Amino acid sequence: MVEAQHMRKVMEQYAAAVSAGEVEAILSFYAPNGSCQVPVGGPVCEGIDAVRAFYEGNELAETLVLTGPVRVAGREAAAPMVARVCFDGVNYELDVVDVAEFNDDGLLTSLRAFYSLDDLRAV
């Protein structure tokens, strides 16, 4: 079974990889059959090729910063974060909670991001 400390570390490293725009690093956290849904309610990208296409085809947050401890229960981790993005030359912040599920090898089988663009704040 995957250890809680490993899940916490992956979520920290994931935020750093998103901030750095390092798609290959992001993909290294996913299982071959992993999926992402960013945001929840949007399309689900299933399988590593679809996950790759999502991260390559979308603007990533300029920064994604943990704002509290990563909470772990069973095989899942929830990470409170703030994303900083820029639209039309205006900088915004957005509160996000990423919820990830891990397999026995410690790889992401699912990552779901909870947020609404209605909550964007100009900074």
Structure confidence at residue 94 as a pLDDT band (50, 70, 90): very high
Q: Residue 17 corresponds to which tokens in the numbers above?
A: 């990889």
Instruction: Judge if pTM exceeds 0.85.
Output: yes
Give dist(CA 111, CA 104) in Å, integer: 16
Instruction: Check: CB of residue 18 under 8 Å from CB of residue 64.
Output: yes
Q: Which residues pair with 45 in a beta bridge?
A: 36
The pLDDT score that the predictor gives to residue 20 is 95
Q: What is the pLDDT of residues 100-119, one digit of tens each?
A: 999 999 999 999 999 999 99
Which tokens is 26 given? 């992001």
Q: How confident is the model at residue 1 (pLDDT cuts 50, 70, 90)?
A: confident
In the chain, how many H helices and how many E strands?
Answer: 3, 8
pLDDT of the residue at 59: 81
User: Mean of the pLDDT values across residues 64-80?
Assistant: 98
Domain annotation for the chain: domains and CATH numbers: 4-122 (3.10.450.50)
pLDDT of residue 47: 98
